[in-house]
Structure 1
Amino acid sequence: MGILSRASYVVRSKINSLLNRAEDPTETLDYSYEKMRDELQQVKQGIADLTTQKKRLEIQKRRLEENVEKHNEQARQAVRQDRDDLAKRALEKKQAKMNQIEDLESQIANLQETQDNLVDKKNELQNRIEEFRTKKETMKARYEAAEASSRVSEAVSGVGDEMGDVSRALERAEDQTDEMEARSAAMDELVDTGAFDEMMSDKDAIDRELETGRANSEVDTELETLKTEMGKSTAEAESEAESENGSETASADLDEELDEVDVAEEDVEAELEELKNEDDS
């Protein structure tokens, strides 16, 4: 097969494929039905024209028959008037009209036969059209049902594909969510351990260790200061407690001494009273 033949074959194949996709069977059936109806209408129009022509011939035949009767009457009148010449002329015209009537009758008969044939064909065509219309409607109903079923199947298949896409999208979203949660946990861990600050800092490891040492030293110093302050406060509290205890002891001793002085005074007064009584006696 030559290049041109192959190209022509490919072009025809493509065109045929496009026509097949573009062709709607229901439209084709409707078009065929309309064409048959047009043919039926043409047949009816032909029958109507033939009938009209036959009617014209019949009218012409009636007129000729009227002329024949007229010529008969003319011949009778001429005979009564002894005008054989006129009677002969009237009979000649009558004969000519009779011949024309015969021709018309023959034509009318032919037209009638043709009309009968056309009517039969018209009836046959009309019956075929009715049968075709019934088959057409049945075929259209089947095609529309098949088309609806196909659309439903395609819709269901489309939904299935869409659900598959949705499932895959959910899986991707879940993977991304897990990844984001892992990153968030890692960031929190880096923040808690200070690694994130170390990574963001411009200082090297030695500077960070030195700062850590200085911070620890400052903490130790502050701890010692706190301990010292707390120790001094304890000694002062004990000294104050001892002073309070000493004051209380001295006060108690003084009270005892005062009590003893009071007892001695009472003894002295008692002796003086006894001496006074002795003098009186």
Structure 2
Amino acid sequence: MGILSRTSYVIRSKINAILNRSEDPRETLDYSYEKMRDELQQVKQGIADLTTQKKRLEIQKRRLEENVEKHNEQAREAVRQDRDDLATRALEKKQAKMNQIEELETQIANLQETQDDLVDKKNQLQNRIEEFRTKKETMKARYEAAEASSRVSEAMSGVGDEMGDVSRALERAEDQTDEMEARSAAMDELVDTGAFDDAMSDKDAIDRELDSGRSNAEVNTELETLKSEMGKSSADAESGESTEAEATSDADADAELEEMDVSDEDVEAELEELKNEDDA
């Protein structure tokens, strides 16, 4: 196979594949049905034209027959007048007309035979068209049912084009949601760990930790004070508690407060030292 032949074959194959994909069987069946109806109409038109031609020949034959009768009368009249010459001429014309009539009868017979044949073919074609119409409607109904079933199956299985687009859109939405949730969680974690300093604050992570420690120390101090006050009230309410125990408890509480005060001063000193180092 030559290059041109192979190229032509490939092109025809691809065109045929494209046509098969774009072809709608219902449209093809309707088109074929209309073409058959057009052919039937052409056959009917041919029969009508043939019948018209036959009628013309029959009219011409009838006129010739009238002329034959006229020539007979002319020949009789010429004989009565002893005009054999005129009688002979009339009979010659009669014979010519008879020959023409014979030819016309042959043509008319041939046209009649052709007309009968066309009428038979027309009837056969009409029957075929009716059968094709029934099959066409049945096939269209089957195709539409199969198409509807296929759509439902594709929709249920998710393999159709539209359902595929919906599935892909859902997957993209899930991916974007997961990414956004992960980003939000990461930002919360970074904020909690102090990785992102507050843009509106001059404090860094160390300042925040120191503030947290100072706040915890103040809470602990207030807690110890509350405990001391509650212990003192209970001692006053109880009868039989020794004064020595109360003094010891107060001394211990004072010692604890002094230790905590010293701790706060140490923290403040260390904080000032760190700030001085940052300024330097």
- Structure 2 length-normalised TM: 0.61
SS in structure 2 of the partner of residue 82 of structure 1: coil
Deviations 1:95-132 (A, max 9, x none): 11111111111110110001000100111111111111
- With 170-179 and 4-13 compared, the bigger mean Cα shift is at 170-179
Count residues with an aligned counterpart. Answer: 211
Inter-partner Cα distance in structure 2 for 1:203 and 1:108: 120
Aligned partner of 1:84 in structure 2 is 84
Letter aligned with residue 48 of structure 2 = A
- d(CA) in 1 for partners of 2:82, 2:42: 59
Deviation of the 1:148 alpha carbon: 1.7
In structure 2, what residue type is equivalent to 1:135?
Answer: K
Whole-angstrom CA distance in 2 between matches of 1:104 and 1:29: 46
Find the counterpart in structure 2 of residue 69 from structure 1: 69
1:63: how far off?
Answer: 0.1
Deviations 1:18-69 (A, max 9, x none): 1111111111111211211121111111111111110000000000000011
Partner of 2:106: 106
CA distance in 2, matches of 1:203, 1:46: 104
- The superposition leaves residues 166-209 of structure 1 with CA deviations (integer Å, 9 ceiling, x where unpaired) of 5895698479658857975x689x5xxxx74997634858x949
Larger Rg: 1
The letter for the 1-side match of 2:30 is D
Q: 1:91 corresponds to which letter in structure 2?
A: L
Report deviation, 1:13. 3.2
CA contact (8 A) 2:43 2:118 kept: yes
Kept in 1, the 8 Å contact 2:75–2:90? The answer is yes
| Aligned amino acid, residue 154 of structure 2 | E
Q: Distance in 1 between matches of 2:174 and 2:195?
A: 36
Write 1 or 2 for the structure with the bigger share of helix: 1
Question: Which residue of the partner structure matches residue 57 of structure 1?
Answer: 57
Cα offset, 1:83, TM superposition:
1.3
Map of 1:160-175 to 2, 5 A cutoff? 162=166, 166=170, 173=177
SS in 1 for 2:155: helix
**CA spacing shift, 1:37–1:148, aligned 2, 3 Å:** same
Offset at 1:76?
1.3
Give how far 1:12 is off: 3.5
3-state secondary structure, aligned to 2:157: helix
CA distance in 1, matches of 2:95, 2:196: 141
Report the equivalent of 1:153: 153
2:195 & 2:79 partners in 1: Cα distance?
Answer: 153
| Equivalent residues in 2 for 1:240-259, closer than 5 Å | none
| Distance verdict in 2 for CA 1:175–1:199, change over 3 Å | closer
1:198 and 1:76 map into 2 onto residues whose CA distance is 140
Letter of the 1:38 counterpart: D
Within 2, Cα distance between the matches of 1:130 and 1:115? Answer: 22
| Counterpart residue identity of residue 110, structure 1 | N
Task: For 1:149, give the aligned amino acid.
Answer: S
CA distance in 2, matches of 1:168, 1:138: 44
1:28–1:167 CA distance, 2 compared to 1 (3 A): closer
CA distance in 1, matches of 2:50, 2:74: 36
CA RMSD of aligned residues (A): 4.0
Amino acid at match of 1:36: M
Change (3 A) 1:125 1:93: same
The separation in 2 between residues aligned to 1:48 and 1:61, in whole angstroms, is 20
Which residue number in structure 1 is paired with residue 41 of structure 2? 41
The whole-number CA distance in structure 2 between the counterparts of 1:103 and 1:198 is 118
Give the alignment of 1:199-210 within 5 angstroms. Answer: 201-202=203-204, 208=210
Q: In the alignment, is residue 118 of structure 1 matched against residue 121 of structure 2?
A: no
CA distance in 2, matches of 1:53, 1:97: 20
Residue 242 of structure 1 corresponds to none
Q: Which amino acid aligns with 2:82?
A: D
Unaligned runs of 5+ in 2: 230-280
